[in-house]
C-alpha cells in the first residue's frame, strides 16, 4: 500500500456513524415484530444477523466510541470524527420511543465527546415523528450538550420534510444556526420494490436516488425562501444533485410556467442557487477527484467537505488517494479541515 503523504492540515471526517448497544437491542425487537419495514429489514436486519466479516466488523465498530474507533482513526490518519447515530436512527421507531430514545442517544453522544473532546464532535439525532419535540431537542442539544449540528436520515415512515408540518424543525435549526445533515435511509415501502428486486436499493444506488429526491423536494417546496439562513449538508457528492443542476434549473422554470403541478410553485431563486447558498456537500463514500473538483466548481470550495462514512466504508487507502488530488494546498486544507471547523463549530484541535 502506498503510504499516506504528510500534510499541512488536519483531517476531519464528517459523516461517521455510531450506535449505542441499547439501540441495537431496540432494533432486535422491531425486527422481531410483525409487518417489518422492508427497507429496514433489508439493511439493519442484514448487518445485525449476517455472519460475514464485513457485517460483523461494522456492528463491532458502530458500537465502539473508544479504543477500536480511535485505533482505526489513527491507522487511517483521521484526527477528528463528526459522529451521527447510524441510519435509520430513531426514525424507524414509534413516536414516543423516538422522542425518549433521541434524548438518550444525544446524551450518549455527548458523553463520548466529553471523553475524547479532541477526537469527536457530533450531530444531534431528532425525533422527526414529533416535529415540536425535535425542535425542543435542537434547543436542548445546543444549550445543554453543546452539540451544534443535527442529522436526519431522509424520509420518516415515508414522509418528507417538504411537508410544512415538519417546518418547526427548520425554524429551530435556523434560529440556532444548526446545520442539518440529510443522510440516507433505506427506501420507503412505496418506492423500494423496483430497486430491491435487482439488488440496487442500498448504498450502491437507491440511497442516493431517494436522498437526492428528498433534498430536491425541500428545495422545490420553498423551504429556503422561508428559512434563508438554514444550512443543510448532503453526503455522497451531493447525491448527484450538482451534476443535475443545469437540467433542474431549466425544467423547474419550464414546469412553473406550465402550471402543470400545484406543488411546483415559483421560487425566489433557481434550484442550483439553493445548492450554492444553503447546502454543504461531503464526499462520503466517493474518493474520486473528478467528482470532488466538479462539485467544488458548482457550489464553491468553501462548501465541499471530507467524510469517510466510517465504519461502512473504512478504506484507509482512500485517504492517501484524496491527499494526492491535484488541488492547491489551500483548497485541500478547506476540504479536509477548515470547512468542517467552520460548519460544525469545531475549535482548535
At residue 279, the 3 state secondary structure works out as: strand
List the one residue out of 11, 110, 107 whose CA is nearest residue 349: 11
CB nearer Mn ion, residue 99 or residue 286: 286
CB nearer Mn ion, residue 15 or residue 239: 15
Grid cell of 291 as nine digits = 467528482
Site membership for Mn ion, residue 210 (CB under 5 A) = no
ω into 83 cis (within 30 of 0): no
Site membership for Mn ion, residue 309 (CB under 5 A) = yes
What is residue 181's DSSP assignment?
E
Strands 279-282, 304-305: pairing kind: parallel
CB nearer Mn ion, residue 150 or residue 221: 150
Q: How far is the CB of 184 from Mn ion (least distance, A)?
A: 7
What is residue 35's DSSP assignment?
S
Grid cell of 327 as nine digits = 488541488
Size of the residue set binding Mn ion (CB under 5 A): 2
CB nearer Mn ion, residue 17 or residue 248: 17
Q: How far is the CB of 283 from Mn ion (least distance, A)?
A: 12
At residue 282, the 3 state secondary structure works out as: strand
List the one residue out of 242, 202, 196 whose CA is nearest residue 219: 242
Q: Which of 273, 309, 326, 331 is catalytic?
A: 309
CB nearer Mn ion, residue 271 or residue 311: 311
Site membership for Mn ion, residue 239 (CB under 5 A) = no
At residue 198, the 3 state secondary structure works out as: coil
Grid cell of 278 as nine digits = 444553503
- Apex 89 CA angle, 86 and 92, nearest 5: 140
- The answer to whether the CB of 233 falls within 8 A of the CB of 280 is yes
Distance CA(308)–CA(287), nearest Å, equals: 9
Kindly indicate which of the ranges 108-116, 150-158, 215-223, 304-312 contains the residues binding Mn ion, using the contact rule CB under 5 A. Answer: 304-312
CB nearer Mn ion, residue 130 or residue 309: 309
Q: How far is the CB of 309 from Mn ion (least distance, A)?
A: 4
The residue at minimum Cβ distance from Mn ion is 309
Map residues 12-41 to x or -, x wherever contact with Mn ion holds by CB under 5 A.
---x--------------------------
Q: How far is the CB of 284 from Mn ion (least distance, A)?
A: 6
Kindly indicate which of the ranges 33-41, 112-120, 139-147, 303-311 contains the residues binding Mn ion, using the contact rule CB under 5 A. Answer: 303-311
DSSP codes joined into one string, 8-33: SS--EEEEEEE--HHHHHHHHHHHHS
φ, ψ for residue 56, nearest 5 deg:
-70, -35
Q: How many CB atoms lie within 10 A of CB 68?
A: 14
Catalytic annotation present for 79: no
Q: Which residues bind Mn ion (CB under 5 A)?
A: 15, 309
Residues involved in catalysis: 309
Amino acid at each position: 500500500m502506498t503510504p499516506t503523504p504528510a500534510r499541512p492540515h488536519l483531517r476531519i471526517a464528517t459523516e461517521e456513524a455510531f450506535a449505542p448497544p441499547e439501540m441495537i437491542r431496540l432494533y432486535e425487537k422491531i425486527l422481531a415484530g410483525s409487518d417489518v419495514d422492508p427497507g429496514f429489514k433489508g439493511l439493519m436486519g442484514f448487518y445485525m444477523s449476517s455472519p460475514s466479516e464485513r457485517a460483523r466488523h461494522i456492528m463491532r465498530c458502530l458500537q465502539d466510541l473508544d479504543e477500536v474507533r480511535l485505533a482505526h482513526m489513527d491507522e487511517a490518519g483521521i484526527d477528528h470524527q463528526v459522529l451521527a447515530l447510524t441510519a435509520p436512527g430513531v426514525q424507524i421507531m414509534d413516536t414516543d420511543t423516538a422522542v425518549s430514545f433521541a434524548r438518550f442517544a444525544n446524551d450518549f453522544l455527548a458523553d463520548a465527546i466529553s471523553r475524547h473532546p479532541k477526537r469527536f464532535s457530533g450531530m444531534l439525532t431528532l425525533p422527526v415523528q414529533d416535529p415540536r419535540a425535535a425542535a425542543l431537542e435542537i434547543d436542548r442539544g445546543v444549550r445543554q450538550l453543546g452539540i451544534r449540528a443535527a442529522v436526519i436520515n431522509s424520509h420518516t415512515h415515508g414522509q418528507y420534510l417538504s411537508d410544512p408540518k415538519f417546518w418547526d424543525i427548520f425554524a429551530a435549526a435556523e434560529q440556532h444556526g444548526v446545520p442539518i445533515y440529510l443522510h440516507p435511509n433505506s427506501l420507503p415501502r412505496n418506492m423500494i420494490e423496483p430497486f430491491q428486486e435487482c439488488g440496487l436499493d442500498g448504498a450502491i444506488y437507491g440511497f442516493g436516488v431517494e436522498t437526492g429526491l428528498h433534498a430536491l423536494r425541500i428545495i422545490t417546496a420553498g423551504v429556503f425562501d422561508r428559512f434563508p439562513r438554514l444550512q443543510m449538508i448532503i453526503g455522497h457528492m451531493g447525491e448527484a444533485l450538482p451534476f443535475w443542476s443545469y437540467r433542474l434549473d431549466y425544467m423547474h422554470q419550464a414546469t412553473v410556467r406550465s402550471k402543470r403541478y400545484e406543488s411546483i410553485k415559483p421560487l425566489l431563486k433557481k434550484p442550483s442557487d439553493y445548492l450554492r447558498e444553503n447546502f454543504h456537500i461531503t464526499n462520503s463514500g466517493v474518493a474520486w477527484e473528478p467528482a470532488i473538483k466538479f462539485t467544488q466548481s458548482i457550489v464553491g470550495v468553501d462548501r465541499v467537505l471530507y467524510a469517510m462514512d466510517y465504519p461502512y466504508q473504512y478504506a484507509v487507502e482512500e485517504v492517501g488517494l484524496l491527499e494526492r488530488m491535484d488541488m492547491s494546498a489551500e483548497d485541500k486544507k478547506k476540504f479536509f479541515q477548515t470547512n468542517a471547523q467552520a460548519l460544525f463549530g469545531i475549535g482548535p484541535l
